Structure 1
């Protein structure tokens, strides 16, 4: 299979989050089961900028991490039979390096390290202005699949 892109409408087929909590605008390249890359344009009118923080708006770290997790989800849910499946976080180890400001593009790169029995271990990085802003080791699951492997 070759990498492909997903526009904002196609993305909704694979990512169960919806605006205003959808933290991805476009998937520029995805290779199912391997990686997904894309971005979020941070418009001045994003719902979180007026409150985080007045006079110094920036994208909350939790939402930067959420964007990485959502993109990693796309790397999984584009696999055959997984379209639109809900994922849950199991663990995250995250480092924040730079504030992400309004009017910028938050570029997201994720890759799958391991995918087995409904559990995905992956890496994600978020960039703004060509600089690393956030990076995370993530473990996420598709509970529907994981449940089938748990003892009864």
Structure 2
């Protein structure tokens, strides 16, 4: 399950993360240990699609997109496990905390740690920082439905 750590370019990332522009919230994965953690970043510019409306005259990154960045990084920690490349994940539960605004020109550093992975359910923790200062964090539970369904009563059928 766990091998050596490696990095993923913007193109390689798309082999493991199903989101695409404009909803891909990661530019690069600098270090991933399959089944353990993933670390990377998102560079934010005034050209981001959400800045003109969130908020006019005071643009900042929506909290929901910070959470999405952490969930996507946790997905990378899971989908880099052998046999899970490119699998679709869904959110089950997130508890998130926001501490500071994220502004155009910032580099959002994203870290996600997989705490447990069992029967298609992953529990993990994500932290976003800007210049070493924590701006948001989340405790997350996500699933790969294709795997989870195998463990549901009646093979996932209601």
Q: Which TM bucket (shorter chain)?
A: over 0.9
Matched, 1:61 2:63: yes
Aligned-residue offset at 1:96: 0.1
Matched, 1:82 2:84: yes
TM-score (norm 2): 0.95
Aligned-residue offset at 1:121: 0.3
Indicate the SS of the match to 2:136.
strand
| Structure 2 counterpart of 1:4 | 6
Deviations 1:117-150 (A, max 9, x none): 0000000000012210000000000000000000
Aligned-residue offset at 1:44: 1.1
2:50 to 25, 48, 62: 48
Structure 1 segments of 4+ aligned residues over 6 angstroms from their partners: none
Matched, 1:95 2:97: yes
**Cα distance in 2, alignment partners of residues 128 and 20 from structure 1:** 21
Q: Could you list the runs of 5+ residues in structure 2 that have no partner in the other structure? A: none
**Cα distance in 2, alignment partners of residues 89 and 20 from structure 1:** 19
TM-score (norm 1): 0.99
Indicate the SS of the match to 2:15.
helix
**Cα distance in 2, alignment partners of residues 57 and 130 from structure 1:** 21
